[in-house]
Amino acid sequence: MSRIFNFGAGPATLPLEVLEEVRDEFLDYPFDGKQMGMSIIEMSHRSKAYDAVNEQTEADMKELLGLGDDYQVLFMQGGATTQFSMVPLNFLKAGRTADYILTGTWSEKALAEAKKVGDTHVAASGKDSNYARLPQPKEIQLSENPVYIHLTTNNTIFGTQWRDIAPLNLNPGKHLLVADMSSDILSHPFKADDYGLIYAGAQKNIGPAGLTVVIMRRELAEDPDPTLPIMLQYKTFTKHKSLYNTPPVFAVYIMGKVLKWIKKNGGLAGMAAHNEAKAKLIYDIIDSHPDFYKGHATPDSRSLMNITFRLPNEELEAEFVKQAQAAGMSGLKGHRSVGGLRASIYNGMPKAGCEALARFMLEFMNNNA
Ligand X SMILES: *Cc1c(COP(=O)(O)O)cnc(C)c1O
Regarding 103 and contact with ligand X (CB under 6 A), the answer is: no
Question: Do 101 and 150 form a contact (C-beta atoms < 8 A)?
Answer: yes
User: Among residue numbers 126 through 185, which ones bind ligand X (CB under 6 A)?
Assistant: 152, 156, 180, 182-183
Residue 10 or 126 with smaller CB distance to ligand X: 10
Distances (CA, A) of 261 to 29, 62, 254, 368: 19, 15, 11, 40
Q: How many residues bind ligand X (CB under 6 A)?
A: 12
Query: Which 10-69 positions form the footprint of ligand X (CB under 6 A)?
Result: 10
Q: Quick check: 304 and 274 in contact, CB under 8 A? A: no
201 forms part of the interface with ligand X (CB under 6 A)? yes
How near is the Cβ of 100 to ligand X at its closest, in Å?
13
Closest contact distance (angstroms) between CB of 180 and ligand X is 5
Residue 307 main-chain phi, psi, to 5 deg? -105, 120
Phi-psi region of 131 (alpha: psi -120 to 50; beta: other; left: phi over 0): left
| 79 lies in the binding site for ligand X (CB under 6 A) | yes
Task: List alpha helices for the chain, DSSP H.
Answer: 16-25, 48-65, 79-91, 105-115, 234-239, 249-264, 267-288, 314-326, 351-368
Q: Which of 14, 80, 111, 285 binds ligand X (CB under 6 A)?
A: 80
Kind of pairing between the strands at 97-102 and 119-125: parallel
Residue 81 binds to ligand X (criterion: CB under 6 A): yes
Q: How far is the CB of 359 from ligand X (least distance, A)?
A: 28
Q: Which is nearer to ligand X, 6 or 285 (CB)?
A: 6
User: C-beta of 106: minimal distance to ligand X in Å?
Assistant: 4
> For ligand X, which stretch binds (CB under 6 A), given 78-86, 120-128, 218-226, 353-361?
78-86
Please give the torsion angle defined by the CA atoms of residues 278, 351, 336 and 185, in that order, rounded to the nearest 10 degrees.
-70
Q: Which residues are catalytic?
A: 106, 180, 204
Q: How many CB atoms lie within 10 A of CB 351?
A: 13
Specify the residue, 61 or 86, whose C-beta has the smaller distance to ligand X: 86
Query: What DSSP character marks residue 5?
Result: E
Nearer to ligand X among residue 209 and residue 362 (C-beta): 209
Looking at the Cβ atoms of 82 and 129, the one nearer to ligand X is 82
Which of 25, 40, 11 shows the shortest CA–CA distance to 247? 40
Q: Give the nearer residue to ligand X in terms of CB position, either 302 or 360.
A: 302
User: Please, what is the minimum distance in Å from the beta carbon of residue 285 to ligand X?
Assistant: 24
Q: Which stretch binds ligand X (CB under 6 A): 12-20, 73-81, 133-141, 313-321?
A: 73-81
> In terms of DSSP bridges, do strands 148-152 and 97-102 run parallel, antiparallel, or are they unpaired?
parallel
> Least distance in Å: CB of 185 to ligand X?
10
Q: Round to whole Å and give the CA distance between 259 and 255.
A: 6
The pairing of strands 71-76 and 148-152 is unpaired
What per-residue string of b and e applies to 253-288 under the rule 16 or more CB within 10 Å gives b?
bbbbbbbbbbeeeebbebbbebbeebbebbbebbee
Report the interface residues with ligand X, using CB under 6 A: 10, 79-81, 106, 152, 156, 180, 182-183, 201, 204
